[in-house]
C-alpha cells in the first residue's frame, strides 16, 4: 500500500474563506443567504471515495471543484484503454499508471485548496478502518460486490453515512444509507455470486456521468447542511433533502427521465445489521 497526503499550497485559517476562495466559489456563494457558512462546511468536510472509475472520477471532480476540504481516494487499478470513454480524469498517456495517483494529480491542478490523500491498493479491513476514521462521509463508487459489502460493513461499524452508486449495462442505482436505515447487505441475496459489472455487461458512458452527478448533488446537499439538518429525517422530494433509507433507480420514459426513489426495507436477519449480525457476534464470543 502506498499512502501519501498532498498538502495544500497555502494554509488558510479554518474559520474563514480566503479572498481567493471567495472569488473561486463566488457563484456558489450567491445561491443562499448563508452561502459563506455553507461553503465553510464544505471546506471542513472530509470525504472518502472508494473507486475512482466511471463514477468516482466525475464525483471527485465535482466535489473538488465545489470546495470540499479533504478527499481520500482509494483504488487499486491502473488506467486501461477501455476506461477512457467515461473516466474523465485519465488521458491516453496515462494507460498503465496508478488510477488514484493520476486522479489526485489532475484534481490538484483543478483546485489546489483541498487536501488529497491517496490509497493505491485494495484495502484490507484495518486499512479501510483507518481511512474511514479520518472521514465524515463515505462514497461507494466501486465495481464489485465484495468491496461494496466490505465498505458497507465498516461504514455501519463506524456509524458513518454511506452514499453508494452503481452503473452497469444500461441500468443505474443510488443507495443512501446511514446507521438508522437498512444497510446494503440487507438488499443482497447471500447466494448471489454472479459477476455483474461493467466488465461483463458494458456501461453507457453518459449514464455513468448522469449517475455520478446525481450522486455528487446529493453529497453536496448533505455536506453543506448543518449538523441538525443532516440528522433530521426529511421526506423524499423535499427541497435540499437527502432521502436516507431510499434507493434511486434510473428510468427513462416519454414523460420523465431521471432517478425514481423507493424506500429500502431492512432485512431482520441481515448478517451485517440484523439478527444475523447478533448471531455472528455471539458465535465469536
Ligand atoms: Zn443490513
Domain ranges of the chain: 3-284
What is the Cα gyration radius of the chain? 19
pLDDT tens digit sequence for 213-266: 999 999 999 999 888 888 776 544 455 567 899 999 998 887 888 999 999 999
Among residues 169, 203, 171, 175, the alpha carbon closest in space to that of 187 is found at 175
pLDDT mean over 71-83: 97
For ligand 1, the distance from its centroid to the CA atom of residue 268, given in whole angstroms, is 8
Q: Percent of the chain at pLDDT above 90?
A: 67
Cα-to-centroid distance, 166 and ligand 1 (Å): 18
- Tell me the C-alpha to C-alpha distance, in Å, between residue 130 and each of 204, 223, 280: 34, 21, 23
Q: Which residues contact 90 (CB under 8 A, 6 or more apart)?
A: 57, 79, 83, 84, 99, 102, 103, 106
Average pLDDT over residues 122-145: 96
More confident residue, 123 or 12: 123
Question: Cα(161) to centroid of ligand 1, in Å?
Answer: 14
Superfamily of domain 3-284: NAD(P)-binding Rossmann-like Domain (3.40.50.720)
Cell numbers representing residue 28 in the block: 456558489
Question: Which residues participate in catalysis according to the annotation?
Answer: 198
Rounded CA separation 173/211 (Å):
8
Give dist(CA 278, CA 280) in Å, integer. Answer: 5
Flag whether pLDDT at 156 surpasses 70.
Answer: yes
Question: Mean pLDDT across the chain, nearest whole number?
Answer: 87
Handedness of CA 230, 234, 238, 244 (dihedral sign): positive
Cα–ligand 1 centroid distance for 150 (angstroms): 12
Residue 193 is predicted with a pLDDT of 55
What is the predicted pLDDT for the residue at 190? 62
What residues pair up with 49 in beta bridges, in sequence order?
73, 139
Query: And the C-alpha cell for 114?
Result: 483541498
Res 131: pLDDT: 98
- Note the pLDDT tens digit of each residue in 164-220: 999 988 889 999 999 999 999 998 876 665 556 666 778 888 999 999 999 999 999
How much distance in Å is there from the Cα of 216 to the middle of ligand 1? Answer: 24
Q: How confident is the model at residue 150 (pLDDT cuts 50, 70, 90)?
A: very high
State residue 232's pLDDT score: 73
Query: In terms of residues, how long is the chain?
Result: 285
Q: For the whole model, what pTM was predicted? A: 0.89
Q: Which residues of 255-285 are buried (b: 16+ CB within 10 A; e: fewer)?
A: eeeebeeeebeebeebbbbbebbeeeeeeee
Q: Among the residues of the chain, which ranges form H helices? A: 19-24, 26-29, 35-44, 56-66, 99-110, 125-133, 145-158, 198-201, 205-224, 227-231, 275-284
Q: How far is CA 175 from CA 115, 167, 212, 247, in A?
A: 26, 12, 12, 4
Question: What pLDDT digit, counting tens, does each position of 85-121 carry?
Answer: 999 999 999 999 999 999 999 999 999 999 999 999 9
Q: Is the pLDDT of residue 12 over 50?
A: no
CA 269, 156, 60 angle in degrees (round to 5)? 130
96 phi-psi bin (left φ>0, alpha ψ -120 to 50, beta other): left
Predicted pLDDT at 253? 80
Q: Ligand 1 centre from 196 Cα, in Å?
A: 21
Amino acid at each position: 500500500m502506498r499512502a501519501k497526503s498532498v498538502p495544500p499550497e497555502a494554509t488558510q485559517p479554518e474559520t474563514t474563506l480566503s479572498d481567493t476562495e471567495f472569488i473561486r466559489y463566488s457563484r456558489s456563494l450567491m445561491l443562499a443567504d448563508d452561502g459563506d457558512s455553507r461553503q465553510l462546511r464544505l471546506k471542513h468536510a472530509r470525504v472518502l471515495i472508494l473507486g475512482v472509475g466511471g463514477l468516482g472520477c466525475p464525483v471527485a471532480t465535482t466535489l473538488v471543484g465545489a470546495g470540499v476540504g479533504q478527499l481520500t481516494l482509494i483504488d487499486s487499478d491502473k488506467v486501461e484503454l477501455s476506461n477512457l470513454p467515461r473516466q474523465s480524469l485519465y488521458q491516453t498517456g496515462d494507460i498503465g499508471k496508478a488510477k488514484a495517483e493520476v486522479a489526485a494529480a489532475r484534481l490538484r491542478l483543478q483546485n489546489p485548496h483541498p487536501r488529497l490523500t491517496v490509497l493505491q491498493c485494495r484495502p484490507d479491513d484495518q486499512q479501510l478502518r483507518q481511512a474511514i476514521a479520518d472521514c465524515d462521509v463515505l462514497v461507494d463508487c466501486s465495481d464489485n460486490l465484495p468491496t461494496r459489502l466490505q465498505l458497507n460493513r465498516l461504514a455501519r461499524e463506524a456509524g458513518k453515512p454511506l452514499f453508494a452508486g452503481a452503473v452497469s449495462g444500461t441500468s443505474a442505482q443510488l443507495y443512501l444509507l446511514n446507521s438508522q436505515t437498512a444497510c446494503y447487505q440487507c438488499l443482497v441475496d447471500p447466494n448471489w455470486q454472479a459477476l455483474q459489472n461493467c466488465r461483463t455487461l458494458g456501461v453507457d458512458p453518459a449514464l455513468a456521468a448522469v449517475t455520478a452527478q446525481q450522486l455528487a448533488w446529493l453529497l453536496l446537499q448533505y455536506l453543506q447542511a448543518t449538523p441538525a439538518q443532516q440528522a433530521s429525517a426529511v421526506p423524499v422530494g423535499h427541497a435540499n433533502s437527502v432521502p436516507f433509507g431510499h434507493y434511486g433507480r434510473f428510468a427513462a420514459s416519454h414523460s420523465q427521465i431521471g432517478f425514481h426513489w423507493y424506500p429500502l426495507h431492512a432485512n431482520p436477519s441481515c448478517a451485517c445489521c440484523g439478527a444475523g449480525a447478533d448471531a455472528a457476534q455471539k458465535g465469536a464470543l
